[in-house]
Amino acid sequence: MSSKNLRALSYRKGMDDNLFSNISKLALEEASEDEFKKVASDYHLGESVLLGTSSFYDFLRPENVKKKVHVCTGTACMTAGTQEGLRDNLKDHFGDDEVGHAACLGHCHTNSAFMYNDKTYSVSDVEELSDVVNSKSTKENKYSTGSNTIPILSESIREITAFYSLLKNWVDDKERIIKNLKASNLRGRGGAGFPFFFKLDSASKVDQEQKYIVCNADEGDPGAYSDMYLMEQQAHKVLFGMMAAGLVIGADTGVLYIRGEYPNSIRKIEEAINELSVRNLVGENILGIEGFNFNFKITRGQGAYVCGEETALLNSIEGLRPEVRVRPPYPTVEGLYGKPTVLSNVETFANIHWILENGGDAYAKLGTEKSKGTKLVSLDGFFNNPGVFEIEMGTPLKTIFEEFGKGFKTEIKALQIGGPLGGIVPIDKINDLTLDFESLGENGFLLGHASFVSIPVDFPMIKFIDHLMKFTADESCGKCYPCRIGSKRGHELLVKAQKEDFKIDRKLFDDLLETLEIGSLCALGGGIPLPLNNAMEYFEDELKQYFN
């Protein structure tokens, strides 16, 4: 059966009786085969569709369902060297088969991170760990915040109803919203930097009754926790942005796809939606605007990095296997359930209120010629003052590290920017770079989520690139051969070079990276060559013993 047919069958019940949520519930409850068959029958789908979905996700696989605690395996925790000891200490409280893993828990500022009882923690010693396990208490996730410019994203909201009432000023001229967003040159904050207004303009021109707004809150880049900050401390800025986008294109439903590794973010967004409900700011005829209807739905991810790719995310919401779609058609024409959909990330939506309140031209005055506004920056636990900071685009990286990060706790040889696909920057190049798409791109790096993971001088670079290649192999959706097979073979070569009397043929390895870059359907396989090439260029002396 074609994807379009499967999508149409899933759409019959839509978000009110969401297929993916039903599959997740059955898998987590270890439901019987008959119960799975009943859901398949209710949706007129083959049982293989449900099996293909449930077997894909880390948290839903049968071998993982019984895990009681999940240890973070994110890059920041890895370079900090905290997780092996944490795992050993957890085994004093849990059996080996009860300890699983999670790709990143957003505790990159403190490390020693794990998820237990649907909460996330960082602990400093065995006594604190024992207290958490025995009491199952909530532990506040603390980190520094601040800004070097107009606080667009980080300023607190005084009164919720007044905050949303701004929409009344725009209801009679929706085209003016698009014009202001175009003037602002707001670019997507998920990494690609695509002009946001274009998505609204495109979807608004498609003549269909049902349309969707989707917020990609599957922030899976290890080292990044800025989306977590927004959802937990600035939730209404995110929800307002989605609602404004819905007003423009005529969508009545906003879906937030939030990664399961952020359970507190899910709770905070639920609380914010409830606050809107008691104020009659969701539902029908919102703010007394005739015909302006909008509701929010939350979809909880179940552990899959590839769902950060927009089309895989749409497939996931639909209950299908989260594989990357071939484009065109683009989501603004055929998105969720095949309907016009505007999909962007948390931080992008969070900018919209300020732009509508102050005007697109005011936003465009901040930043550089091509990279406007501000950007949230995540600094990891190797900084003396780790946290999330709102920084004006164009600010020198050295300024960010010194004035906000307060320098490093130990000697650092490189930083990875923007997650596993963002690039490895040697420390001596930091003086040459500024916080914007162009400066990093022109120097062979990528801004991404603007997360900074430190690589200390004593951490082997071969181990770091081994980790990146394994991450890609583990998280590949498997749809395209270059990513599925290439990342696996690359990881095998790196492991063999470390464990055996074996050197990797450098030309063969370069060919492999080129195949990944050119042949992969999405940025997971296509992007991983960037940091590996950075490592090969800037740390050749350290790595040459493994290559010939």
Pairing label, strands 451-456, 374-379: parallel
Q: Which helix (H) or strand (E) holds 451?
A: strand 451-456
The three-class DSSP label of residue 178 is helix
What digits encode the pLDDT tens for the residues 48-69?
999 999 999 999 999 999 999 9
pLDDT at residue number 2: 64
Which CATH fold would you assign to the domain 461-546?
de novo design (two linked rop proteins) (1.20.1440)
Contact 104, 451 (CB under 8 A): no
pLDDT at residue number 91: 94
Within 10 angstroms of residue 312's Cβ, the number of other Cβ atoms is 24
Q: Where are the domains of the chain?
A: 3-54, 69-142, 154-181+193-362, 374-456, 461-546
What digits encode the pLDDT tens for the residues 476-495?
999 999 999 999 999 999 99
Pairing label, strands 144-147, 113-116: unpaired
Look at residues 417, 483, 479 and name the one whose alpha carbon lies nearest to residue 454: 417
pLDDT at residue number 6: 87
Q: Which residues contact 127 (CB under 8 A, 6 or more apart)?
A: none
Contact 418, 403 (CB under 8 A): no
- The residue with tokens 């930091």 is 430
What digits encode the pLDDT tens for the residues 148-203?
999 999 999 999 999 999 999 999 889 999 999 999 999 999 777 899 999 999 99
The three-class DSSP label of residue 116 is strand
Question: Distance between CA atoms of 414 and 464, rounded to whole angstroms?
Answer: 11
Handedness of CA 200, 206, 212, 216 (dihedral sign): negative
- The residue with tokens 């060559």 is 529
Q: Crossing angle of helices 263-278/226-233, nearest 10°?
A: 30
pLDDT at residue number 193: 83
Share of the chain above pLDDT 70, in %: 100
SS3 for 236-303 is HHHHHHHHHHHHHHCCCEEEEEECCCCHHHHHHHHHHHHHHHHCCCCECCHHHCCCCCEEEEEEECCC
Average pLDDT, the chain: 95
What digits encode the pLDDT tens for the residues 519-542?
999 999 999 999 999 999 999 999
Give the N- to C-terminal CA distance of the chain in Å, as an integer: 48
Q: Which residues contact 500 (CB under 8 A, 6 or more apart)?
A: none
Within 10 angstroms of residue 408's Cβ, the number of other Cβ atoms is 16
pLDDT at residue number 220: 79
Indicate the residue type of 37. Answer: K
For range 284-311, the mean pLDDT: 94
| Beta strands, E only, 301-447 | 341-345, 374-379, 387-392, 412-417, 424-426
Look at residues 177, 158, 161 and name the one whose alpha carbon lies nearest to residue 169: 177
Question: Distance between CA atoms of 239 and 294, rounded to whole angstroms?
Answer: 11
Within 10 angstroms of residue 102's Cβ, the number of other Cβ atoms is 23
Do you find a cis peptide bond into 329, omega within 30 degrees of 0?
yes
Angle value at C-alpha 427, between 426 and 431, nearest 5 degrees: 110
Pairing label, strands 387-392, 144-147: parallel
For range 241-246, the mean pLDDT: 98
Contact 190, 449 (CB under 8 A): yes
Q: Could you give the C-alpha distances from 458 to 205, 379, 405, 462, 542, in angstroms and in order?
A: 55, 20, 21, 12, 11
Indicate the residue type of 241. Answer: G
For range 444-448, the mean pLDDT: 92
Indicate the residue type of 510. Answer: D
For range 489-511, the mean pLDDT: 97
The three-class DSSP label of residue 513 is helix
Q: Which residues contact 129 (CB under 8 A, 6 or more apart)?
A: 86, 89, 90, 93, 123
pLDDT at residue number 1: 56
Largest CA-CA distance found in the chain, in angstroms, rounded: 73
Contact 299, 259 (CB under 8 A): no
Look at residues 370, 392, 388 and name the one whose alpha carbon lies nearest to residue 380: 388
Within 10 angstroms of residue 536's Cβ, the number of other Cβ atoms is 20
Tell me if domain 154-181+193-362 and domain 374-456 are identical in fold: no
Residue 246 has phi, psi (to 5 degrees) of -65, -40
pLDDT at residue number 4: 81
Contact 232, 322 (CB under 8 A): no
Based on the number of CB atoms within 10 Å of its own CB, is 278 exposed (0-12), middle (13-18) or buried (19 or more)?
Answer: exposed
Q: Which CATH class is domain 374-456?
A: alpha beta
Question: Encoding tokens for residue 441?
Answer: 């791109």
Question: Distance between CA atoms of 55 and 314, rounded to whole angstroms?
Answer: 18
The residues pairing with 258 across neighbouring beta strands, listed in sequence order, are 217, 300
Beta-sheet strand order (sheet of 113-116): 99-102, 69-72, 113-116, 119-122
Helical H runs in 2-153?
A: 3-11, 19-28, 33-42, 47-54, 75-80, 83-90, 126-135
Is the pTM higher than 0.75?
Answer: yes
DSSP state of 514: H
Indicate the residue type of 206. Answer: V
What digits encode the pLDDT tens for the residues 250-276?
999 999 999 999 999 999 999 999 999
CATH of 154-181+193-362, one of 3.40.605.10, 3.30.460.20, 3.40.50.2020, 3.40.50.11540: 3.40.50.11540
